[in-house]
Amino acid sequence: MTLRRLALLGSTGSIGTSTLDVVRAHPDRLSVATLAGGRNRELLLAQAEAFRPRCISVGLKDDADWLRSRLSYTPELNWGPEGLLACALHPDADTVVAAIVGSAGLASTEAALRAGRRVCVANKESLVVGGALMHAAALAGGGELLPVDSEHAALHQLLEGREPASIREVRITASGGPFRDWPLARIQAATVEEALNHPTWKMGPKITIDSATLMNKGLEVIEAAVLFDLPVEQIAVTVHPQSQVHAMVGFRDGTYQLQVCANDMKLPIQYALLYPEAQPGPVPPYAWDAARAWTFEPPDLARFPCLALAFQALREGGTAPAILNAANEVAVAAFLSRRIGFWEIQACDRAALEALPASPLTSLAQVLDADAAARRHAEGWVASRP
Ligand SMILES: NC(=O)c1ccc[n+]([C@@H]2O[C@H](COP(=O)([O-])OP(=O)(O)OC[C@H]3O[C@@H](n4cnc5c(N)ncnc54)[C@H](OP(=O)(O)O)[C@@H]3O)[C@@H](O)[C@H]2O)c1
């Protein structure tokens, strides 16, 4: 039995707190070596007292000082991007959970892969933006990349041991978000509260808005292409409002295999942390004796243009996904702070993708430059709105 020692980056977020629930359920297999959060120092303090990690990082130096003065023991205390790296690369940790939101998580994911760690990646931006660079880092350092997203954990299960030549297509499912059956005019005028009201998943605010625009599904399509080395033509999306089937693989002979489980993020988190070991999960096994009705439908790209933009970026390749992702982060933040309307998110994303030329991926620094340029473009676009 292996005891995995975790570096949990983003411990104060939705994935981070669920990860700690999984650790609590498997104390003989999982322990916490380091914890990193952003601004929520109160929660980080409580987590540190409960798990007593050797190393902690927080967003700002002031918050690190605040923690130092309150903790009942003396761990290493760090802050900012350097602090994230210190936690990710700490010698006491062998497994990194990358659960920071946004491209702020990129450098630590890359460094951990380069240092030969198992990296359980929830931070989809690392894969969307960094793509081939993450694979190169894993190859150079012997690191292992395991997905934490439910759709990608499902694909990991479904594709394991399969000959690439036997695969015709992979499909990831989308709940369709809160506006799945809304007419276009109503979607265009959606409020922040309506967009945050996700029907089947409880998540952080950024990914919840991305679920309402279907950009989240678009980022997941790019993530699937990167993780499983699939061409864009082999990846499709099916809307499945019940969120019980997470992915499907279609074989050359016309048959399909589907992965089914409850919509609880602790399942894919545990899958990645304990892989290849399968331990009792955080929810009871699937209740097939209950009557159920599941539905499946194609996504409507006219009402959800962000999904089409993601396919476009994947087709363009290189830095195009980084440009789309960065513009979208700015647009979503502007929507959440009520500076732009819901429909302007896709307009801002499209404007950046059209204005900024993509170039082939060469280095992390170049990707971060593309990210910065797209942010500037999107911020200018937001500022120019009446
Ligand atoms: N939630 C889900 O069900 C789900 C499912 C699949 C994939 N994901 C992906 O997982 C990632 C995390 O999502 P989430 O829903 O857990 O987000 P969240 O609840 O907003 O949490 C984000 C975490 O990142 C930390 N953080 C943000 N910026 C930081 C920075 N610059 N430095 C250090 N820490 C920083 C936050 O710290 P503070 O809160 O302390 O500021 C928090 O711990 C995202 O990439 C998301 O797409 C999430």
Ligand 1 centre to CA of 207 (Å) is: 9
**Cβ(123)–Cβ(248) below 8 Å:** no
Atom of ligand 1 nearest to the CA of 100: 24
Ligand 1 centre to CA of 13 (Å) is: 5
Token duo for residue 83: 């602090």
> Ligand 1 pocket: which of 207, 219, 375 to mutate (most atoms <8 Å of CB)?
207
**CB 227: neighbour CB atoms within 10 A?**
23
Ligand 1 centre to CA of 251 (Å) is: 35
Atom of ligand 1 nearest to the CA of 12: 43
Q: What is the mean pLDDT of residues 82-103?
A: 96
pLDDT at position 315 over 90: yes
Residue 87 confidence (pLDDT) = 98
Lookup result for tokens 């194609």: 298
Residue 155 confidence (pLDDT) = 98
**Cβ(215)–Cβ(307) below 8 Å:** yes
**Cβ(200)–Cβ(188) below 8 Å:** no
pLDDT tens digits for range 206-222: 999 999 999 999 999 99
**CB 21: neighbour CB atoms within 10 A?**
14
Q: What is the mean pLDDT of residues 306-317?
A: 98
Residue 153 confidence (pLDDT) = 97
pLDDT tens digits for range 27-48: 999 999 999 999 999 999 999 9
Q: Could you give the CA distance from residue 126 to residue 102 in angstroms, rounded to a whole number? A: 8
pLDDT tens digits for range 227-259: 999 999 999 999 999 999 999 999 999 999 999
pLDDT tens digits for range 150-195: 999 999 999 999 999 999 999 999 999 999 999 999 999 999 999 9
Atom of ligand 1 nearest to the CA of 18: 16
Ligand 1 centre to CA of 112 (Å) is: 18
Residue 125 confidence (pLDDT) = 87
Q: What is the mean pLDDT of residues 288-317?
A: 96
3-class DSSP assignment, residue 204: coil
Cis peptide before 276 (omega within 30 of 0): yes
Residue 54 confidence (pLDDT) = 97
pLDDT at position 1 over 80: no
- Closest-CA residue, ligand 1 atom 34, reads 38
Atom of ligand 1 nearest to the CA of 104: 31
Of 66 and 263, the structure prediction assigns the larger pLDDT to 66
- Closest-CA residue, ligand 1 atom 20, reads 204
Ligand 1 centre to CA of 169 (Å) is: 30
Share of the chain above pLDDT 90, in %: 92
Question: Which residue in 386, 373, 369, 363 sits closest to 330, CA to CA?
Answer: 373
Ligand 1 centre to CA of 175 (Å) is: 20
Cis peptide before 299 (omega within 30 of 0): no
Residue 287 confidence (pLDDT) = 86
Ligand 1 environment, Cβ below 6 A: 10-16, 36-40, 59, 84, 99-101, 104, 122-125, 149, 201, 203-204, 206-207, 265
Ligand 1 centre to CA of 43 (Å) is: 14
Ligand 1 centre to CA of 250 (Å) is: 32
| Mean pLDDT score of the chain | 96
Question: Which residue in 185, 9, 27, 30 sits closest to 100, CA to CA?
Answer: 9
What phi and psi values does residue 175 have, to the nearest 5 degrees? -65, -25
Question: Which CA distances in Å does 163 have to 158, 168, 207, 235, 253?
Answer: 12, 11, 33, 16, 13
Q: What is the mean pLDDT of residues 98-110?
A: 92
pLDDT tens digits for range 334-353: 999 999 999 999 999 999 99
Confidence band for 370, pLDDT divided at 50, 70 and 90: very high
Confidence band for 203, pLDDT divided at 50, 70 and 90: confident
Confidence band for 367, pLDDT divided at 50, 70 and 90: very high
Atom of ligand 1 nearest to the CA of 80: 32
Exposure string for 257-282, b = 16+ CB within 10 A, e = fewer: ebbebbebbbbbbbbbbbbeeeeebb
Domains and CATH numbers, the chain: 4-148 (3.40.50.720), 165-263+297-316 (no CATH)
> Ligand 1 pocket: which of 44, 100, 202 to mutate (most atoms <8 Å of CB)?
100
